[in-house]
Chains A and B, each alone.
Chain A
Amino acid sequence: MISNSREDILKRIRIGLHRLAIVRGGNEYISKASSSYKETQQKLEIIRRNMIEKKSFLLDMFMNEVTKVNGNVFIVKSEDEIKHYVTRLVEEHDAKSLAIWESGFLKQINLREFLEIKGLGFVSPYSKEQMAEADIGITEGDFCIAETGTIVLITNERQPRSISLIPPVHIAIVKSDEIIENSKDLFFLLANTVGESGSLKNLTSCITFITGPSRTGDIELSITLGVHGPKELHIIIYDS
């Protein structure tokens, strides 16, 4: 059976709007206020400058907001300190099995090798059964939003999504110069930097915003943490 629903629906919409034909268009159609290349670059420049000039202000705001949504934040000055905090968290939770992103910065500081020498095992997100056994998931953050205490994770082949989702504890290592003031600036930045040549074309399969540990208010509106996602979120901010 071949259904004509596609055409039927589009036709009903057109008739409903008292139009004879579909209105299509290029970018002007997407946005009446579509700005020029130069304007876009200038705006990006302002956002980036803000991130640097207002860094300590944004850092404070971010840390404050993360705490408000029951996340834990540590600020560290060196790679050794990152390893120190991760080790502490691993010991506190008596973790045996970990999952980790194979992403740039984590590779650079050899975090996985460091933990392997300490006798910890690693599982691959390729197997969901293995992931279900992991005690802690370690990721980076691609961006942070100061106003809401949010970390933004962009999925790709080295940055799988389940590591920040399935283990009961999530450790995210972010850099202090990745903090953006608000979601409006963040989306402007994303819209002009992600996808093929920063054009939003061919986005990766998933972009995830994480603000605090998993929570629910479904039983008498009383806030309970860790219902499906991680019960704990630890954000280590590397401020070199």
Chain B
Amino acid sequence: MENIKLSFEKDSAIALKNIKLQRALNKAIDQFRNVRWRAVREFQDWEQLRVSARRIKEWTIDHLDGYLEMLEANVINAGGNVHWASDANEACEIILDIAQKHKVKSVVKSKSMATEEIELNHSFEGAGIKVVETDLGEYIIQLANERPSHIIAPAIHKTKDDISKLFVEKLNTPYFNEPEDLTKIAREKLRNEFLNADMGVSGVNFSVAETGTIVIVENEGNARLTTTVPRIHVALMGIEKVIPRFEDLPIFLNILIRSATGQKMSTYVSLITGPKRNSDLDGPEEFHLVIMDNGRSKILSNEETRESLYCIRCGACLYICPVYKKVGGHSYGWVYQGPIGAIITPQLLGIDKASDLPFASSLCGACKDVCPVKINIPRVLLELRARVINDKRVGARFLLRIAVKLWRFTMENTSFYNLALRLSYILQKPWIRHGRLVSLPFPFSRWTKKRDFPAISKIPFRKQWKEIKDLEF
């Protein structure tokens, strides 16, 4: 993780020129927005539900240490094992250790952003253990050796033609172009993997402190197979996934599922408490819960950004974001994309490693409006922008820092402001094209490289405003 250095600027420029990606994104996003809107509108007290969810999240995070201890005690009471991991390396070590102790040769995985975050597959592969992603989208991504581009729909950037060709190449199947045929191929291939696997690794959507239950939401059934068929089940969760009560679940299931896919209820919801009991006929013999920090307690320690931890990973802010719609998930460079990625990635990886991301937003606020737990993403983005500007390690921002200081000085001094405006009006003339400034010389070129600027008017706005006001009132 130390070597990561993300570049939203570069990656998004490439994505914008990818016509196939643009088409895939447009289609998927328009369709999704409609479906989600319907699912939210038909729920009677959506707003009340959001308020309740938000309150429970606030309360839980404010008492997180107690709830994690309670969760631990109840998982153990149900016959499960609990492990604590401070960072990604430790989480990988713990899981690998469980695998090696049991001489595991093959692992099946259901979709989990946390395992993407720690790059668990690399660890398994490095130790010579076969690992297979079983969510259809993730399976496609794994075959293509790529990274997911959306937290809910990982292969959203791929067309069925891409997938057909991929299957021909990697699985030696004939060329099928219908989702139905492709799905059937995947089902058959993956069935064998499930039957042969010694260990299943899953994520956790919610865990319930008072019962020691983990909750997994899905549509395909692969998470059920992952947590039922192999003899060992390992679940990895971030510390923020815990909720206090069993009775809180309907609130969170409703907001998660309706926001994530626009369904009223996902096809499967599994409430898993410990391993199989002695008298049970099926289910895993061992259950391990790995509770991972990996930078989350740092987020918690800052009150300005603490609410980033309320995220339930529904993906609604991705679909609604005008920036995501244009640049797609890969531009965000890491596991979490879109507006939530823009606030979580810099906090988890370090602000110097993802200094572009807080700026990858127009601050339009759509993400805040759609967020089921009301995370004020634009406000957190502003806070992170301030951190980037003030971060000495982020050298590339030096010019920006000076520009902001200069800007502030100008805005605070009326006479200087007027002077600057007049000067700009005169100096801008050679660069005006159709009433706009499109390519200014250095250092202003850094602005006009990606966007234009309206030409400065002869009559300042304040003067215009005065005249309009006199006219109207």
Contacts and interface: CB of A to CB of B under 8 A. Distances in A.
Contact of B69 (A16, A22, A165): A22
Contacts of B31: 221
Contacts of A8: 86
Contact of A10 (B65, B195, B228): B65
Interface string B171-196: 00000000110110011001100010
B254 to A, nearest CB: 7
Contacts of B155: 218-219
Interface string A181-205: 0111011101100010000101111
A157 B90 contact: no
B209 interface: yes
Interface residues of B, number: 92
A224 B220 CA distance: 10
B312 to A, nearest CB: 16
Interface residues of A, number: 80
B268 A229 contact: yes
Contact of A187 (B137, B246, B264): B246
Nearest to B134: A228
A190 to B, nearest CB: 7
B183 to A, nearest CB: 4
Contacts of A217: 153, 219, 261
B383 interface: no
A209 interface: yes
Given A183-B250, A228-B190, A13 B64 contact: yes
Nearest to B281: A160
A216 B86 contact: no
Contact of A220 (B159, B245, B253): B159
B244 A205 contact: no
Given A9-B293, A191-B247, A160 B301 contact: no
A131 B301 CA distance: 49
B210 interface: yes
A16 B300 contact: yes
Interface stretch (A25-33, A78-86, A113-121): A25-33
B103 interface: no
Contacts of B263: 69, 211
Contacts of B134: 228
Interface of B: 24, 27-28, 31-32, 59, 62-66, 68-70, 77-78, 84-86, 90, 134-137, 140, 153-156, 158-160, 163, 179-180, 182-183, 186-187, 190-191, 195, 209-211, 213, 219-222, 224-225, 228-229, 239, 244-247, 249-251, 253-254, 261, 263-277, 279-283, 291, 293, 297-298, 300-302
Q: Which 8 pairs, one residue from A and one from B, show the smallest C-beta to C-beta distance?
A: A229-B221, A16-B301, A218-B137, A228-B221, A157-B279, A148-B265, A12-B297, A209-B269
Given A3-B84, A202-B78, A204-B273, 13 more contacts: A9-B291, A32-B59, A128-B195, A166-B229, A191-B246, A209-B270, A215-B219, A215-B220, A219-B160, A221-B32, A222-B160, A224-B179, A224-B183
